[in-house]
Amino acid sequence: MHYRTLGRTGIKVSPYALGAMMFGTIGNDDHDDSIAIIHKALDAGVNFIDTADMYSHGESEEIVGKALAGRRDDVVLATKLNLPMGDDPNRQGNSRRWIIAEVENSLRRLQTDYIDLYQIHRPDPSTDIEETLSALSDLVHAGKVRAIGSSAMPASEIVEAQWVSERRGLERFRSEQPTYSILNRGIESEVLPVAQRYGMGTLVYSPLAGGMLTGRVRKGQQTDLRRAAFFTYLSDERRLDVVEQLVPLAAEAGLSLTHLAMAFAIAHPGVTSAIMGPRTMQQLDDVLAGAEVVLGDDVLAEIDAIVPPGTDVSPLDMAYKTPAVLTPSLRRRPLDERAAA
């Protein structure tokens, strides 16, 4: 396994990161099996694990904590906060109140006294970014966190956060975690260039497009993916059409669709690591088998012809949408102000 530097932190991480979202009740609820998957990834040279407090409501962090017993110092450990951890409206978001409280919960579940990369899972429009950065800076100064990062943050907000950090003398976001795959290339336009400009590492999630780039989701065929019953993107005709174009391209290159997709994700110079999220040992083995795959310029050019750079075929269901997009009143003038004359 080769290693890359996480932005300008000096921390070395593997190009494949192990995502722990599927460990726990929402995925693999067998703790021993999940721990075995983690150990196998570490033995293969993967040194970067990404989880979050809300994955199976803390259970994922607990599993990761148990798996890292005796191996903690050899692993770059990342977790996140923001999404609801209960009915209390203050047990979510990016407020100082919640950050200071929840980091202690994550440290306890992970059975560690420090987190290498602590990330805000989503932007929080209700909280001043200075408030968030100030609280996170205090955690760095206290030695509980080594570096801080963002996730699903629009390019404009990344820039704003960097400016606030500089002006207020606060720790700055050292990484960004956006979605990125052959089907979702939108971050190539602004997010990746902005992250590179500020020396941020980029940890891309869903490089297999939520399962669509595994070959298990084909047009006109039944899929065995359990999530197909819950997510509409898996039946999106535009995405299915692109998959049908990618299957022969992968075959011509002598690759599985999974290996083509993973190799594509880590080929961009702005991408530090691609997060794989296996639920089973077989899925982990499948991804790791393609670790040495290199896509030539000819194959990348063919992918560009199918999905133009900087474009999304269609958004993932779980992709972050800003209030300006989600809230009708923010994109519609009052009726009496809509006429031109």
Arithmetic mean of pLDDT, 95-102: 98
CB atoms within 10 A of CB 255: 18
Nearest by Cα to 290 from 196, 213, 194, 190:
213
| pLDDT tens digit sequence for 231-276 | 777 888 999 999 999 999 999 999 999 999 999 999 999 999 999 9
pLDDT at 319: 80
pLDDT recorded at residue 336: 95
pLDDT at 228 over 80: no
pLDDT for residue 227 is more than 90: no
63 touches 31 (CB < 8 A): yes
Contact by Cβ (8 Å): 267, 303: no
Is pLDDT above 70 for 145?
Answer: yes
pLDDT of the residue at 30: 98
130 compared with 215, residue with greater pLDDT? 130
Give pLDDT tens digits for 269-328: 999 999 999 999 999 999 999 999 999 999 999 999 999 999 999 888 778 888 988 899
Beta strand 48-50 with 16-19 is: parallel
Rounded CA-CA distance 217/231 in Å is: 13
Which of 92 and 211 is assigned the larger pLDDT?
Answer: 92
Catalytic residue, from 3, 16, 55, 114: name it.
55
pLDDT value at position 119? 98
Q: Does 55 participate in catalysis according to the annotation?
A: yes
Mean predicted confidence (pLDDT) in 173-186: 98
Nearest Cα to Cα of residue 121 among 162, 173, 78, 82: 82
Identify whether the C-beta of residue 14 lies closer than 8 Å to the C-beta of residue 1.
yes
Tens of pLDDT, residues 115-135:
999 999 999 999 999 999 999
Please write the tens of the pLDDT for every residue from 33-77.
999 999 999 999 999 999 999 999 999 999 999 999 999 999 999
Q: Which of 203, 263, 196, 268 is nearest to 48 (CA)?
A: 203
* Average pLDDT, integer, range 89-103: 98
Q: Is the pLDDT reported for residue 147 higher than 80? A: yes
